Amino acid sequence: MIGILGAGAFGTALAVALAREGTPVTLWGRDPEAMAQLATTRLSPHLPGVDLPCGIAVTPDLAQAAQHRTLLLAVPMQSLSDLLGALDAPLDGARLVACCKGIDLATGTGPSKVITRAKPQALPAVLTGPSFAADIARGLPTALTLACGDAQAGHDLQHQLSTRSLRLYRTTDVTGAELGGALKNVIAIACGACIGAGLGDSARAALMTRGFAEMTRLAAHFGARPETLAGLSGLGDLALTCTSDLSRNYRFGQALGQGQAFDPRVTVEGAATARAVTRLAARDGLSMPISAVVAALAAGEATVSEALDELLSRPLKEE
């Protein structure tokens, strides 16, 4: 059995995919009223038109959901630390699979280090890669990366969490997998702003390519393997998120480019991650110009026109 902590779009979609193939799941959400409604209607507001299979037990009781040995943590990155803090049990030996994409602003680290700090006796892993919750819930084919520093546990998790339509590839490069997933959101905001402001597809291709160079540079600095960045969790997710209107990061960027407001309740991981990246880059002397302008744009400290000037006025250099 698997416990999924976080009943938003992604946690619910993963629960649907696993339960549909016969894996029993306990799905926890923090809002008792919403969980009661979900248990009754078997319909989630996050996944219109998708019925929850009967193999999903819905609960607002965190301790009950956390009894399982494998727990998927499907809350936004900046909430991960709070969620772990709310878990009373030490979770010795439990496999804690972070499903969030980002860098924790408070510590400047990715989800696996946040997990290790909060629950040192648990085994951290990361599930990431190109996937929209709506696609997973509909059973459309999806390929993801399962990263775990312990090769045997990673192998076990890969088999436990794969389904016929959800195909997991495994790696032991946790740093590479989580940085790929975190940084692609930042570049997606830049691409959304580019398209929103009418700067064109050529400019977007340039942002994706130079963005990928930034992603690879930062990841290599932290010891990631280049091939991880070139895989599903990096290039794969970058391609999806920078080109699809289904992406919230991309749509947030589009709104910035069009000078329109964006619903602050929508999860947009790239905004906080851009700030975290900019701090890390300043601390370690790394050049991350696209991330820097995205951080300024998202914070309302620069206009798209100023961001464009900033990028285009940089000295000419070798590729």
Q: What is the contact surface with ligand NAD in residues (CB under 6 A)?
A: 6-11, 29-30, 46, 74-77, 79, 82-83, 99-102, 131-133, 267, 269
Q: Reply yes or no on whether 317 is catalytic.
A: no
- Interaction mask 259-288, ligand G3P, x per CB under 6 A: ----------x-------------------
The single-letter code of the amino acid at 301 is E
| Distance, CA of 248 to CA of 253 (rounded, Å) | 9
Q: Are 65 and 26 in contact (CB under 8 A)?
A: yes
Instruction: State whether residue 3 is helix, strand or coil.
Output: strand
Check whether 133 is labelled as a binding-site residue: yes
Among positions 237, 238, 277, 295, the unique one binding ligand G3P when judged by CB under 6 A: 237
State the minimum distance, in angstroms, from the CB of residue 281 to ligand G3P: 22
Q: Are 12 and 44 in contact (CB under 8 A)?
A: yes
Q: What is the DSSP string of 122-165?
A: SEEEEEESS--HHHHHTT--EEEEEEESSHHHHHHHHHHH--SS
State the minimum distance, in angstroms, from the CB of residue 132 to ligand G3P: 6
Beta-carbon count within 10 A of 36 CB? 12
Q: Which of 113, 119, 184, 317 is catalytic?
A: 184
| Interface with ligand G3P in residues 177-236 (CB under 6 A) | 185, 188
Q: Are 98 and 92 in contact (CB under 8 A)?
A: no
Nearer of residues 132 and 250 to ligand NAD, judged by Cβ: 132
Residues making up the annotated binding site for NAD(+) are 6-11, 133, 248
Where do contacts with ligand G3P occur on this chain (CB under 6 A)?
101, 130-132, 185, 188, 237, 240-241, 247-249, 269
